[in-house]
Amino acid sequence: MTRARIGVLALQGDVREHSRALAGLGADVVLVRRPEDLAEVAGLVLPGGESSVIDKLSRAFGMRDPIRTAIADGMPVLGTCAGLILLADRLEDGIAGQQTFGGLDATVRRNAFGSQTESFETDLDVPAVGDPRARATFIRAPIVSEVGPSAEVIARLPDGGVVGVRQGRVVGLSFHPELDGETRFHELLLDTARDA
């Protein structure tokens, strides 16, 4: 089996943790900072971090439009926490001028769970990755406040709050699987990239 080349957007955020998870699964990891890096990969991770900073840096480095185009053209993408915000077609509580890449027919609200001190961990049923339940760490996490008809919910909190959405080859999560050694979402990305 050929090794999939998977990019991690390396402008800001938990790039190292995602890179480690992907490398552990046998992927060739490319740190994506320029459009030519993006052109080399079959899939992309948008890591957690600060969504407004990643947005600004993506525009400064000429990455915003190439990423938008890659997503629209069907590139498999996994976005976690800030990555989910960047994948949302619609954003609530963004800072002035904040933009997203789009790709998920969903509305996402930033920092929905409060400050860093209100971070928490829980286990979630995620049929898309099977059993056992997925360990999920939420750190200043967003929530999906609305899911449009083109997207499907793949993960909910016990109170029903939507924290995972998929649309085609794009998956967005409110939480950080890369911090918990939970690699099944990365495996899903790799499988999708190989099939693509």
If we measure between CA atoms, which residue out of 29, 28, 38 comes closest to residue 71? 38
* Residue pair 51/58 in contact by the 8 Å Cβ criterion: no
**What b/e readout covers 20-38, taking b as 16+ CB neighbours within 10 angstroms?**
bbbeebebebbebbeeebb
- Exposed, middle or buried by CB within 10 Å (0-12, 13-18, 19+), for 156? middle
Separation of alpha carbons 83 and 47, rounded Å:
5
Residue 184 CA from chain centroid, whole number: 13
The 10 Å Cβ neighbour count of residue 145 is 16
Q: How far is Cα 191 from Cα 59, in angstroms, rounded to an integer?
A: 29
Q: Is 134 helix (H, G, I), strand (E, B) or coil?
A: strand
Catalytic residues, which ones?
A: 81, 176, 178
Report d(CA 120, CA 140) in Å as an integer.
9
